[in-house]
Amino acid sequence: MSPEEGITTKPDALLVIPDGDQVTGRCDCCGQISRRVWGTVSTADAAVAAYMVWWTVGHIAEHGAEIDLICGRWGDDTSVSDRFVVRLHHFIAASGPAVMVQDASLADGLDRLAACALRRDDIIGTPRAAEVFALYDAIAQQDARLAELFGAPAPCGHCGPRTEHRKLPSRRSRSGARRGRTI
pLDDT means per 10 residues, the chain with 183 residues, are: 55 91 78 90 93 90 92 93 96 90 92 94 94 95 91 54 40 41 43
Q: What is the pLDDT of residue 7?
A: 60
Q: What is the pLDDT of residue 5?
A: 52
User: Is the model's pTM score more than 0.85?
Assistant: no
Q: What is the pLDDT of residue 155?
A: 55
Exposure string for 77-108, b = 16+ CB within 10 A, e = fewer: eeebeebbbbbbebbbeeeebbbbbeebebee
Q: What is the pLDDT of residue 58?
A: 84
Q: What is the pLDDT of residue 181?
A: 44
